[in-house]
Amino acid sequence: MSIVSHSKIFFFISILLILVSLVVLIFWGLRLGIDFTGGSLLEVEFKNERPSNDVINKKIKEVNDIGNVVIQATGERGIILRFKHIGENTHKEILDKLNTLGGGVVQKRFETIGPVIGKELRTKALYSIILSLFAIIIYIAWAFRKVSRPVPSWKYGSVAIIALFHDILITCGIFSIFCHFYRIEVGLPFVAALLTILGYSVNNTIVIFDRIRENLSKCSWDNFGDLTDKSIKESITRCINTALTTLFVLFAVFLLGGASIEYFVLSLIIGIIVGTYSSIFITAPLVVIWQK
């Protein structure tokens, strides 16, 4: 099957996914975790059977000025508690209250971030993504600087950035759905996952662009569409095999890695699938359309 000649189908799928992602992001958005909003997170595991959320919430409410508490079950006997920024004395008081339930608890994790630091981390996360995008487009334009016909080198970099926006937007849109229905929160690990997705996606894109560059030096570029289609077919097996081997590992980590990294791994799985799709079916056909 010719990928370039059927590019309208793939573009329609991508546009549909982008529109859905924009709608859910506008109406639901992403639930920001304590990394960005400030607050405290406490993960404990009960030594015996885990009490109900109502019992746990009632016991924690005995702590003065604790505010709203979000309780999330994890594993068979564990829970993750999220509440406003607290000090060490309040932290110990909460543990004392929990130790009166379910035969006592074992603390697994405690994190606390002030609101000012959370705002600063949110700003730095945005800057890191923007800086990565600029670095990628500059590198691609430089790497393809000797390829000026029939498409200028800077267009390869621009198309790669469009595809990266495509990957990030759809990944965020899918995660917005998870945040809404499963009360998932995103933090710095999610930003790290997005940056990883950027690098992984552009890697596959460059593989295909590089094959186009090689074929341009060996073949006539009078019919750039056929040459691009030939280049995609020559690279598609490598791209899919690379994605599959990575996904095998990620699925194993997702199933066995524990609650603390499962959403980080889930975002990588989604991003790599979307990124592989865009690298094969979106970027090179988009170059052909621009050339026309």
Q: What pLDDT, in 10s, does the model give residues 1-32? A: 788 889 999 999 999 999 999 999 999 999 88
Residue 258: the pLDDT is 72
Q: Is the pLDDT of residue 268 over 80?
A: yes
φ, ψ of residue 192 to 5 degrees: the values are -60, -40
Residue 146: the pLDDT is 66
Six token digits for residue 141: 């334009």
User: For 76-95, what is the mean pLDDT?
Assistant: 86
> Which residue would you say has higher pLDDT here, 164 or 23?
23
Contact 259, 78 (CB under 8 A): yes
Contact 186, 174 (CB under 8 A): no
Q: Is the pLDDT of residue 115 over 80?
A: no
Identify the weakest region by mean pLDDT among 25-29, 35-39, 208-212. 35-39
Identify the weakest region by mean pLDDT among 23-32, 175-184, 209-218, 260-269. 209-218
- Does a cis peptide bond (omega within 30 degrees of 0) precede residue 152? no
Residue at 263: amino acid letter: Y
Of 3.30.70.3400, 3.40.50.620, 3.20.20.70, 3.50.50.60, the CATH number of 39-113 is 3.30.70.3400
> Which residue would you say has higher pLDDT here, 157 or 175?
175
Residue 64: the pLDDT is 80
Q: Is the pLDDT of residue 202 over 80?
A: yes
Length of the chain: 292
Residue 272: the pLDDT is 95
Sequence spans of domains, the chain: 7-30+117-291, 39-113
Strands 105-113 vs 39-46: parallel, antiparallel or unpaired: antiparallel
Convert the pLDDT of each residue in 60-70 to its tens digit: 888 887 777 88
Residue 204: the pLDDT is 87
Residue 11: the pLDDT is 95
Residue 147: the pLDDT is 62
Most confident of 49-58, 114-123, 141-150: 49-58
Residue 59: the pLDDT is 87
Fold held by 7-30+117-291:
Multidrug efflux transporter AcrB transmembrane fold (1.20.1640)
Q: Quick one: which of 269, 271, 79, 266 has its CA closest to 186?
A: 266
Identify the weakest region by mean pLDDT among 24-28, 34-38, 56-60, 207-211. 34-38
Three-state DSSP state, 63: coil
Judging by beta carbons within 10 Å of its beta carbon (0-12, 13-18, 19+), is residue 18 exposed, middle or buried? middle
Average pLDDT, the chain: 86
Three-state DSSP state, 72: strand
Q: Is the pLDDT of residue 151 over 80?
A: no
Domain 7-30+117-291 identical in fold to domain 39-113: no
Contact 230, 220 (CB under 8 A): no
DSSP 8-state secondary structure symbol assigned to residue 261? T
Q: Quick one: which of 236, 157, 166, 169 has its CA closest to 204?
A: 236
User: For 72-95, what is the mean pLDDT?
Assistant: 86
Residue 63: the pLDDT is 85
